[in-house]
Amino acid sequence: MANLRKSMLVVSLLMMALCGVSLAAVYQVGDSAGWTSMGQVDFQDWAASKNFHVGDTLVFNYNNQFHNVKQVAHPGFESCNATSPIATYTNGSDTVALEKLGHFYFICGYPGHCQAGQKIDILVATATSKPNHAASPSTSSASSLYSSNLSWTWGVLGFTALVSAGMQKAVGFEICKKLASNGIVVILTARNATRGLEAAQKIKDSSISDDLVGFHQLDVVEPGSIASLAEFIKTKFGKLGILLGQ
């Protein structure tokens, strides 16, 4: 009976938290409108709706015949002065990695565009820092949906900690490997599929059976992904369906 209980134990590590994969996200600046001066996007409101962290990536999509991206210091951002940029991007589909804490200032260097609102201040904060902006309502409601719809029963552990660096990362991997080596099914979830699959493979490379490690891409902002996780569990580990109360 103990072995059966052990084999049926599912550990859902939200956002790869305890397995050391950072909560790295990719943000398309301006969403579908992209990086534009046409007034379709209030970039400051857009930035205020996000919580950026070290390791996240910005993607600027734009027509490079009419726009560019200039990373500037704060004075240049305030005055829309692009004469001494920190970096310049002109490809039309540029990625910028947020590799440290603090403010990242971006403007369009074409005349009049910054003054028209084509500028954005990205604040990268720590996971435990109090954000300077209100959390996105969609993120908050989706997180609540995740908690209410996945009602784990006996013996199931749910982790929602955000661990992305340092010693805690190593400890997280060791926890995952230890659980799997003891016959516990570990289901890894993350928004970034590449990082998630890499983490799952690292655990499997430690002589862990493929049957004990699964990965499912999950973005709590999208309510549909919550149901897809439940379906994934039922499909891959059918015997665990009882844990979902279905």
**Percent over 70 (pLDDT), the chain:** 49
Confidence band of 193 (pLDDT split at 50, 70, 90):
confident
3-state secondary structure (DSSP) of residue 241: helix
| Closest by Cα among 184, 190, 129 to 157 | 184
* pLDDT score of 171: 42
- Number of domains composing the chain: 2
Query: pLDDT-derived band of residue 54, with 50, 70 and 90 as boundaries?
Result: confident
Q: Are residues 17 and 40 in the same domain?
A: no
- Write the CB contacts of 188 (distance below 8 Å, at least 6 apart in sequence): 13, 16, 19, 21, 176, 196, 199, 200, 203, 213, 214, 215, 216
CATH of the domain at 210: 3.40.50
Distance CA 119, CA 32 (A): 17
pLDDT digits (tens, 9 = 90+) for 67-87: 999 999 999 999 999 999 999
Q: Are residues 63 and 90 in the same domain?
A: yes
Other beta carbons within 10 angstroms of residue 223's beta carbon come to: 14
Any idea which residue has 């859902």 for tokens? 12
Taking the C-alpha atoms of residue 110 and residue 32, their distance in angstroms, rounded to an integer, is 21
Residue that finishes a domain, picked among 77, 92, 124: 124
Higher pLDDT, 32 or 105: 105
Residue 119 and residue 148 in one domain = no
Asked whether residue 54 is domain-assigned, the answer is yes
Per-residue model confidence (pLDDT) at position 181: 72
Q: Identify whether residues 149 and 105 lie together within a single domain.
A: no
Q: Report if residue 129 sits inside a domain.
A: no
pLDDT one-digit tens code per residue, 150-173: 332 222 333 322 222 222 344 455
Residue 114, in any domain of the structure? yes
pTM: 0.48
Phi, psi of 99 (to 5 degrees): -100, 0
Beta bridge partners of 228: none
Q: Where are the alpha helices (DSSP H) in 80-222?
A: 137-149, 167-181, 193-204
CA end-to-end span of the chain, whole Å?
Answer: 22
- Shared-domain flag, residues 237 and 192: yes
The CATH number assigned to the domain holding 83 equals 2.60.40.420
The two tokens of residue 81 are: 């002065």
Report how far residue 236's alpha carbon sits from residue 240's, in angstroms, rounded to the nearest whole number: 9
Does residue 200 fall inside a structural domain? yes
The interaxial angle of helices 193-204 and 167-181, nearest 10 deg, is 60
The answer to whether position 231 is within a domain reads yes
Expressed as residue numbers, the domain containing 177 is 2-23+135-244
Same domain? For 10 and 66 the reply is no
Q: What is the pLDDT of residue 44?
A: 93
Is there a single domain that holds both residue 181 and residue 114?
Answer: no
Q: Which of 105, 112, 110, 111 is nearest to 86 (CA)?
A: 105
Q: Where are the alpha helices (DSSP H) in the chain?
A: 2-7, 43-48, 74-79, 137-149, 167-181, 193-204, 223-236
Please tell me which residue, 131 or 56, carries the higher pLDDT value.
Answer: 56
Specify the pLDDT at position 140: 38
In a domain, 110, yes or no: yes
